[in-house]
Copies of this chain bind each other. A is one copy, B any other.
């Protein structure tokens, strides 16, 4: 499955801890950046009265440490979707080596009420047609 989004990133000073390793939350903020960009690529936006993507579940595996200044590639794929939610697979690569993997379940919610709401039709069409997501 080819990624829906691919980005390059150079590890920032503020992302590293006392032992010189990227803090485990920095990876998740990179994922957030991809998630937000992906949401916008679905023709969606962030407004209080609209629909928003909420992370309900995260599974992250830290496969190898990263250090300050390293260049990495970040990818986002969308393996599957349901009525009101879809799955994001994030990966971080240092060259050919995958150093991080994360799967998130993202639920579409009505921002006004916080309740789940069906994926908007135009987003669903792109998730299946463009991104290759399969209905579960």
- Chain A contact residues, CB within 8 Å of chain B: 12-14, 16-20, 23-25, 28-29, 32-33, 36, 46, 48, 52, 54-62, 65, 68, 111, 114
Complex Cα–Cα for A51 and B33 (A): 31
**CB < 8 Å: which of B52, B57, B62 contacts A57?**
B62
Known: A13-B18, A13-B33. 9 other contacts (CB 8 A): A12-B33, A16-B17, A17-B18, A18-B20, A24-B55, A24-B58, A25-B28, A59-B60, A65-B114
A–B complex contacts, Cβ < 8 Å, 12 sampled: A12-B36, A13-B18, A13-B32, A13-B36, A14-B29, A19-B52, A24-B32, A25-B25, A25-B32, A55-B62, A58-B60, A58-B62
